Amino acid sequence: MKSWGQVIVSLVLVLLVKTAFAETFIAHCRHSPPEMIVVDGDCSGIVPEMLVDILAELNHDVKWLEIPFPRSLAEAKLANVDILIRHSMTDQRRGFLDGHVYGDFERVIEYFLAPNFESDITSPEDLKTVNIGALRYYYYSTQFHALDPDSITWVTETPQLIKMLRASRVDAVITSKRHAADLYRSEFRKASYSEQFTNPLYISFAKASPKSVYQDEIAEVLLEYRKSGRVDQYFISYGMEPPVQVFD
């Protein structure tokens, strides 16, 4: 039977081992409530709180930085960030991100028309004949990103899109709920054509980050959260419908 001294030494050794392997991950956040909420530089909301809990189970923690998503992608390539949250995945992003799905969401893509555009967009074929305004670096849909890039006018901010559409400098603008679609509804005519599909969202690790070596154990905890229904609870606590969970 161990003495109290031996027990204390054992506990100290366990604590030292855990502390030795504890890491602080750099993660980027942006204000998109309730999934991500930034107040005075602090990040909370559905996905940040879920990630914090997952990391805590493995004795890790996280430092949040509020960074616009296009810059986050650039920083991930340079290993200046370890984790990106709540984003879609593309073939290009797979080149520098290892992604892990936390849920599948229904997504609706809509098009709003310029005042001087007298026709309509009624089919995918019509998309090939018009000039469309879109936000650079953001994912809309596989169908949209297969269009000729020369037919798309890329900008970096939503107010730029609204000004261009108002001035009829583009025929239409592509948008979705995630890209402030409600800002267009009161002023612009909506095209007849829209696209609806299931869109998985990811928590990803920058491949170039030295801390990506921890991603397998973190992904394992995330998978447990998904299978146990714990992911659902984060969404329910904020009054949102949980995502669908699909397992291979």
* Per-residue tokens: 154: 């890329």
- Mean of all residue pLDDT scores within the chain: 92
pLDDT of residue 18: 43
- 195-206 and 152-155 as β-strands: parallel, antiparallel, unpaired? unpaired
Angle, CA of 45, 47 and 101, to the nearest 5°? 165
Q: Which residues have C-beta within 8 Å of that of residue 82, sequence separation ≥ 6?
A: 25, 26, 27, 205, 206, 209, 211, 212
Of the pLDDT bands very low, low, confident and very high (cuts 50, 70, 90), residue 5 is low
Give the residue-averaged pLDDT of 121-126: 97
**Residue 11: is its pLDDT beyond 70?**
no
pLDDT tens for each residue of 136-156 = 999 999 999 999 999 999 999
Residue 149, preceding bond cis, omega within 30 degrees? Answer: no
pLDDT tens for each residue of 91-108 = 999 999 999 999 999 999
Share of the chain above pLDDT 90, in %: 88
Q: Where are the domains of the chain?
A: 4-105+200-237, 106-197
**Residue 86: is its pLDDT beyond 80?**
yes
pLDDT of residue 235: 98
pLDDT of residue 180: 86
Of the pLDDT bands very low, low, confident and very high (cuts 50, 70, 90), residue 41 is confident
Between residues 13 and 195, which one has the greater pLDDT?
A: 195
The CA distance from 66 to 81, in Å, is: 12
pLDDT tens for each residue of 167-190 = 999 999 999 988 888 999 999 999
Of the pLDDT bands very low, low, confident and very high (cuts 50, 70, 90), residue 237 is very high
pLDDT of residue 179: 86
**Residue 1: is its pLDDT beyond 60?**
no
Of the pLDDT bands very low, low, confident and very high (cuts 50, 70, 90), residue 21 is low
Give the residue-averaged pLDDT of 10-37: 73
Residues 158, 135 contacting (CB under 8 angstroms): yes
* Per-residue tokens: 91: 């073939």
CATH topology of domain 106-197: D-Maltodextrin-Binding Protein; domain 2 (3.40.190)
Share of the chain above pLDDT 70, in %: 92
Answer whether 4-105+200-237 and 106-197 agree in fold. Answer: yes
Between residues 15 and 80, which one has the greater pLDDT?
A: 80
CATH topology of domain 4-105+200-237: D-Maltodextrin-Binding Protein; domain 2 (3.40.190)
Give the residue-averaged pLDDT of 226-235: 98
Give the residue-averaged pLDDT of 122-143: 95
